[in-house]
Structure 1
Amino acid sequence: MSSIATASSATNRLSAWLRALRMLPLLALSFLLAGCHAHYVPLEVVGYNHTDRDIGDFYVNGGWGPSLMKHSGGGKYTCCVVVPPVYKPGMKATITWSDEAGENPRSREIAVPPYGPDDFGAFAVHFLRDGQIKVFVTRYGLGHPDYNLKGDEAKL
């Protein structure tokens, strides 16, 4: 009888151990996310293509952004880019993009202009007609009077 009790006890311990082991990834993810929110602010990515050519896809610091038809944008958001809660001078974002066929990848480091806590909403990427790329942390959409891009430059 004691060998049956011992086997049952060992099985219960093994079961408890396996249940705990299954919870480990969830626990680790919780710690990572808690740390992330303490040091960074997650923002959705939105793109605008002011050029005469489609953009197959683009990335911000390795995070995917939606494809952009020529002279369009603002309608699709993807998750996520993280930024520090307080702007740090000299901040840059690496923007990588390809043409409409997903070919000819290019990459450029772009300066992130200063932002404040009231600006959190989205990380906007603008591919401009003159070849420049501008990025903003903003709570406004293109066309809003307080949006960072104005005038002819803002036209899609």
Structure 2
Amino acid sequence: MKITWVRWLLGVFALVLVGCSTADNEMAGGNIQAINHTLSNINWLSVNGYRADGGGGRSCCIIMPTKWRPGLKAHIEWEVDTDPYAESPPLGTKEFRKFMKVHKAKYQHHRTIVNIPEWRGTESCDLKVHFFTCNQVKVTTSCWAPSSPNYPIRVPMGMKEPSVCPK
């Protein structure tokens, strides 16, 4: 909670600092949203150093330009629990703590860099990070809801990891 408050203050401070810049360099704060299309659990993610919850809700905040420009990239890191429904001993027991130590050692960490697709004018609505099988990632700033036929990423949810991933 304390870290979130500090990050919010830093984000506001950053917005104040860039508030006097030219229109081409204006920045604004927005949310990060994880959309998981896999059967694994995304524990957390980070986009350009801004950390967010991987549980599917929106997390504050990421600072991005108000106008798209060529070359915008998202440096994404994330942690995956490939067995989120593993049966565990009762919570709070010594056995549970031992189980979690072994379970957490199996978490996978990934990173990638993806292009942030173009948006027109000031139409950017948060940064939505889509996680697919084979550790593939796409991002969008679309203002449409993911359930809308106008949403740019139309991939089913609950995708099972293939036995072999394409290279």
TM range (shorter): 0.5 to 0.7
Quick one: which of 110, 128, 132 aligns to 1:128? Answer: 132
TM-score between both structures, scaled by the size of structure 2: 0.63
Taking only aligned residues, the RMSD between alpha carbons, in angstroms, comes to: 2.5
Q: In structure 2, what is the Cα distance between the partners aligned to 1:80 and 1:124?
A: 12
Q: In structure 2, what is the Cα distance between the partners aligned to 1:149 and 1:115?
A: 14
Residue ranges of structure 2 left out of the alignment (5+ in a row): 1-10, 82-103, 159-167
Name the counterpart of 2:51. 64
Hey, which of these two has a bigger chunk of helix by percent?
A: 1
Q: Determine if the alignment matches structure 1 residue 33 to structure 2 residue 15.
A: yes
Residue ranges of structure 1 left out of the alignment (5+ in a row): 1-28
Which segments of structure 1 move beyond 4 Å, counting only runs of 4 or more? 29-32
Q: In structure 2, what is the Cα distance between the partners aligned to 1:84 and 1:41?
A: 6
Q: In structure 2, what is the Cα distance between the partners aligned to 1:155 and 1:105?
A: 21
Equivalent positions of 1:75-154 (< 5 A) are: 76-100=57-81, 101=104, 103-150=107-154, 153-154=155-156
Query: Percent identity among equivalent residues?
Result: 23
Across the two proteins, how many residue pairs are aligned to each other? 121
Q: In structure 2, what is the Cα distance between the partners aligned to 1:104 and 1:128?
A: 14
- Which structure exhibits the higher relative contact order, with contacts defined as CA atoms closer than 8 Å and separated by 6 or more residues? 2
Shift of 1:94: 0.5
Whether the 8 Å contact between 2:66 and 2:122 is mirrored in structure 1 is no
Shift of 1:109: 0.6
